[in-house]
Structure 1
Amino acid sequence: MEREIEVKLLDIDINDFEEKLKEIGAQFIKEEDQINITINSTAHKIYKKKGYLRIRIAKSGDEVKKYFTFKENISDIKVRDNIEHTTEISDEKELIKILELLDYDKFDKGYKNRKKYTYKNLIIDIDTWDEHTYPNPYVEVEGPSIEEIYDFVDELKINRDNISTMSIQELKKSFKK
């Protein structure tokens, strides 16, 4: 179980942002390609106020890690505040079969490239999804407090109008409108 306090930075120049990260001394951690599968059920729907289920397959170099997560939503006021209940899995296909037997029938698959940096107490992810999932790259900034996240946003002179607390599912819905 891990607490996650984060915001997304939307509609910013990703290349310019990455250069700013390097200028301030942010440390590059890794780049990975991910498959993210969000899971739900028409029989017993998981509502966004409660959270969501996800399978993530992350590949970095020769390393592949697979995770099953329930993201429990605590708040989305000023930041997304979640508790992630995660376990590593070995066979995502068998897990999907189990979930189908339990009447989970909605599996929404998306592909993402993620570049991960750290700076001070923050984790900064530059996310680029496939066109079908979400066509615009964005940045996630995760930290131990609202204050540290917003101080970072101010330090990089990012307009606060570019801050979002929407989940990827909410971003997808808002983009289709």
Structure 2
Amino acid sequence: MNKVLLLLVFISPGTSTSGLKRITKTQVQGFDWKNCGRPDAPALLKTLTVTPDPVSIPGDLQASASGSTSVDLAAPLPVNVTMEKEVAGFWVRVPCVEELGSCHYKDVCDLLTQLIPPGQDCPEPLHTYGLPCHCPFKAGSYSLPQSDFYLPIMDLPSWLTNGNYRVQGVLGTGDNELGCLKVSLSLRSD
């Protein structure tokens, strides 16, 4: 849906893994996004709004989104994520550490199944609006009206707590690229 939420999916709230720091207050500022694939890519995000700016974590946010896919999105559904952090005016690629950073995910469908077991209802507000949370995602248009979300306190790696970031996600591989999304944002933690 959006990269902030996608990023949060890979960082499970309340976990206590080594190298993670309990963040009591974080602000996400300057959130921006754009499609980065071909204009005729099968999967496109058409609209995305996130308010307020800055978003406080923990705290509430409102988001709406719309997108479409001209093909069914089914397993295996690979995603390549490239994350960069601005360091002294230069953009530095963040390596993949504990499945966070510039990582290749062989199958997003499998990750969704781990987060939301089959047979379990999709979380709100997806359930209310009849939006799927498991593969396959049928070809068609999807829309999430403005909805309220609560972002809880979470554990983040200490290197991810402050800075400017760029994240690019490419859905599919090689000649079978289905879509591409770029997001930029700043994180500021207390």
Instruction: Quickly name the TM-score band, shorter chain normalised.
Output: under 0.3
Q: TM-score, normalised by structure 2?
A: 0.25
Q: Higher helix fraction: Structure 1 or Structure 2?
A: 1
